[in-house]
Amino acid sequence: MSGRKAQAARNDELILKAARAVFTADPGAPIAAVAERAGVGISALYRRYSSKEDLLRKLCFDGLQLYIAVSEKALEDQGDPWEAFAGYMRGIVDADSSSLTIKLAGTFQPTPELGAAAVRASELATRVHARAVEAGVLRPDVTTADIALLFEQMASVKLGDDERTGQLRHRYLALLLDALRRPASHAALPGPAPEDAELSARWVP
């Protein structure tokens, strides 16, 4: 495959990647920002998606699929129950699925297909959580819904570039995992703490 077809296929990927980056950074970003980031014209977007809503639905659906994949992998993990659960949490944080699902919800009309994926994702989350509770590695007063909100808190962390943001999210996830684990413990925190300069830089954009 080469020539024009190849560029079209490459653009498919470029556009999705750009859309993910732009809309996770700012759910209200304009379509033009996606095109610019992807390095294509606006018409390249409208050839693939009939509207902005359509693109957002696609992103949300992909985000749910990713969530589902991570959850299924966690359920297959037959190793140490705590490590399986912690790995699941880290996987979801890395997938940034909260930014791709809940943060975008409300900006478009959900389709049945999308609703079904959301239900499936929710079921899997319940099972992963239940397994950890039954294994006795998780404090029992935290519910599945709590976990969902905690993911959103991790997703709210944004500082510097994507790499730094991911680093910090894992730092605070480690803190969170200490609070969730039974018995209580204090694991070492990964990644350097934020510098004062990193924080104060946000006052003057």
Partner DNA sequence: ACTATATCGGAACGAAGCTTTCCGTTCCAG
Partner DNA sequence: CTGGAACGGAAAGCTTCGTTCCGATATAGT
Interface residues toward a copy of itself, by CB under 8 A: 102, 105-106, 110, 115, 118, 122, 139, 141-143, 145-146, 148-150, 152-154, 156-157, 159, 168, 171-172, 175-176, 178-180, 182, 184-186, 188-189, 193-196, 198-200, 202-205
- Beta carbon of residue 2, minimum distance to DNA (angstroms, whole number): 6
Kindly tell me which of 43 and 185 has the beta carbon lying closer to DNA.
Answer: 43
With CB under 5 to 8 Å by kind, the binding choice for 203 among DNA, a copy of itself, none is a copy of itself
* Minimal distance, residue 18 CB to DNA, in Å: 12
Report the distance separating Cα 150 and Cα 91, nearest Å. Answer: 14
Check binding of 52 to DNA (CB under 7 A). yes
Residue 154 sits at the vertex; the CA angle it makes with 148 and 156, to the nearest 5 degrees, is 105
CB 60 within 8 A of CB 38: no
CA atoms within 13 A on the CB side of 172: 18
192 near DNA, judged by CB under 7 A: no
Which 3 state secondary structure label does DSSP give 181? Answer: strand
Which one of residues 13, 41, 179, 202 is an interface residue with DNA (CB under 7 A)?
41
92, 70 Cβ separation under 8 angstroms: yes
Contacts 24+ apart (CB under 8 A), 197-204: 198/159, 198/160, 198/164, 199/159, 202/159
Backbone angles phi, psi at 181, to 5 degrees: -70, 140
Three-state DSSP class for residue 79 = coil
Query: x/- string (CB under 7 A) for DNA, residues 11-40?
Result: x-----------------xxxx------xx
Which listed option, DNA, a copy of itself, none, makes contact with residue 102 (CB within 5 to 8 Å by class)?
Answer: a copy of itself
Question: Minimal distance in Å, beta carbon 29 to DNA?
Answer: 7
Site for DNA (CB under 7 A): which residue of 46, 72, 126, 182?
Answer: 46
Determine if 53 is a binding residue for DNA (CB under 7 A): yes
Query: What are the CA-CA distances from residue 90 to residues 72, 74, 86, 111 (Å)?
Result: 14, 11, 6, 29
Residues in contact with DNA, shown as a per-residue x/- string from 54 to 93 under the rule CB under 7 A: ----------------------------------------
User: Alpha-carbon distance 61 to 172, whole Å?
Assistant: 27
Residues lying near DNA in the complex (CB under 7 A) are found at 2-5, 7-8, 11, 29-32, 39-44, 46-48, 51-53
